[in-house]
Homo-oligomer: A and B are copies of this chain.
Amino acid sequence: MYIAGPLADLIRELEKLPTIGPKTAARLAYYLLSAKREDADALAAAIGSLKDRIRLCSRCFSLTEEDPCSICRDLQRDGSMLCVVGEAKDVYAIERTMSFRGRYHVLGGLISPMEGIGVDKLKVKELIERIKPESISEIIVATNPNAEGESTALYLARLLTPLGVNVTRLAYGLPIGGDLDYADEVTLARALEGRRTM
Contacts and interface: CB of A to CB of B under 8 A. Distances in A.
A117 interface: no
Contacts of A26: 89, 92
A121 to B, nearest CB: 16
A40 to B, nearest CB: 6
Interface residues of A, number: 57
Given A5-B65, A18-B27, A64-B4, A10 B47 contact: yes
Nearest to A65: B5
A91 to B, nearest CB: 8
Contact of A50 (B33, B49, B64): B33
Interface of A: 1-7, 9-10, 12-14, 16-20, 24, 26-33, 35, 37, 39-51, 53-54, 62-65, 69-71, 74, 88-89, 92, 95-96, 98
A10 to B, nearest CB: 4
A125 to B, nearest CB: 23
A10 B46 contact: yes
A9 B46 contact: yes
A35 to B, nearest CB: 8
Contacts of A6: 46, 49-50, 53-54, 65
Contacts of A33: 50-51, 54, 63
Contact of A27 (B19, B48, B69): B19
Nearest to A39: B16
18 contacts: A2-B70, A2-B74, A3-B95, A4-B62, A4-B64, A5-B65, A6-B49, A6-B54, A10-B43, A12-B46, A13-B43, A13-B46, A16-B43, A18-B28, A19-B27, A30-B92, A32-B50, A44-B47
A48 B53 contact: no
Given A1-B95, A10-B46, 4 more contacts: A12-B46, A17-B43, A29-B50, A33-B63
